[in-house]
Amino acid sequence: MSTVDLTGRVALVTGGAGGIGVAVVRRLAELGASVAVLDLDAAGAQRIASSVGGLAVVGDVTDPATMPAVVAQVEKELGRLDVVHLNAGIGGGQAGVDGALDVERYRKLVGVNVDHVVYGVCAAVPALRRQGGGKIVITASLAGLVGMPADPLYTLTKHAVVGYTRAAGQALAADGIVVTALCPGFVDTLLLGAAKEEFDAVSLPLLTPGDIAGALESVLADGGPGEAWIIQPGGHASAYRPPDVVLGRV
């Protein structure tokens, strides 16, 4: 892995007050970055930001006005923006295949897992262009590469994120903006909910938030435009190589 030095750089992490976000904020700070921590949990965001000398920002990532306002605040208070980790995410919480659909819950899932990513990229790109380029890393999932029958709606959102990353990465590469997706397996966070007991019962190894922070560092060092990087317990982060399919012309 190449060396990552973020001294003098500014990073923004969404969903930065819990789980993966906390580990990522701390890793980015260790690499030298000034870090803005965005979360709905005001106290949590302040606690984590204070621990690394960063900036706490409170906001709802499903609101289209939030990300532009946050990016503007980061530039105003920290002077620039170089790295964005769009990490906020939630689980599906319902099958979405059996005719009984809680539409409000479904819309929230799409709002956090998909809309927030689009809002975040669109808000961040002008700021990154002002620095001559930068990095955007999006937390997806292995469920963005393979089907997860236990949570089809979550699978839907993460497939959308991976597809968006592949296309946006190519579209922004000429600007020096590298967009990549991070696709971990199951991570030991609150997002697992009751499934954590099932994993423990069969001794299924889980990733830790620290594993994801390490994978993020690898992506920042070596990730290419539009790539999806996978990480599973006991392994090293690596770029997933999809089959070659040529996009035809109409």
H runs (alpha helix) in 15-133: 20-30, 42-51, 66-78, 103-110, 116-130
**CATH number of the domain enclosing 191:** 3.40.50.720
Residue 149, helix vs strand vs coil: coil
> Does residue 159 lie within any of the structural domains?
yes
Residues of the chain above pLDDT 70, percent: 88
> Does residue 139 lie within any of the structural domains?
yes
Taking the CA atoms of 23, 195, 153 and 92 in sequence, report the sign of the dihedral they define. Answer: negative
> Does residue 240 lie within any of the structural domains?
no
Tokens matching residue 154: 């979550």
Which one has a higher pLDDT value, 135 or 92?
135
Residues 6+ apart with CB under 8 A from 174: none
Which one has a higher pLDDT value, 40 or 150?
40
By annotation, the residues acting in catalysis are: 154
Sheet with strand 10-14: strands edge to edge: 55-58, 34-39, 10-14, 83-86, 134-139, 177-184, 228-231, 238-239
> Does residue 242 lie within any of the structural domains?
no
Among 132-141, 146-155, 183-192, name the most confident range.
Answer: 132-141
Q: Is the pLDDT of residue 192 over 70?
A: no
Q: What is the total count of domains within the chain? A: 1
> Does residue 65 lie within any of the structural domains?
yes
pLDDT tens for 201-250 read 454 667 788 899 999 999 999 999 999 998 888 777 878 877 666 666 54
What type of residue is 180?
Answer: T
Residues 6+ apart with CB under 8 A from 139: 15, 20, 85, 86, 87, 88, 89, 181, 182, 184, 212
Q: Is the pLDDT of residue 41 over 90?
A: yes
> Does residue 216 lie within any of the structural domains?
yes
> What is the per-residue pLDDT for 93?
83
The residue with tokens 């599973």 is: 232
> What is the per-residue pLDDT for 116?
98
H/E element holding 153? helix 152-172
Nearest to 16 by CA among 34, 32, 36: 36
Taking the CA atoms of 147, 149, 151 and 152 in sequence, report the sign of the dihedral they define. Answer: positive
Apex CA 194: angle with CA 99 and CA 117, to 5°? 65
Over residues 113-131, the mean pLDDT reads 98
Which one has a higher pLDDT value, 69 or 99?
69
What is the value of pTM for the model shown? 0.90
> Does residue 112 lie within any of the structural domains?
yes
Among 25-39, 98-112, 148-162, 230-244, name the most confident range.
Answer: 25-39
Q: How far apart are CA 6 and CA 79, in angstroms?
A: 14
Q: Which domain holds residue 168?
A: 10-232
Apex CA 101: angle with CA 108 and CA 193, to 5°? 60
pLDDT tens for 45-63 read 999 999 999 999 999 999 9
> Does residue 246 lie within any of the structural domains?
no
> What is the per-residue pLDDT for 92?
83
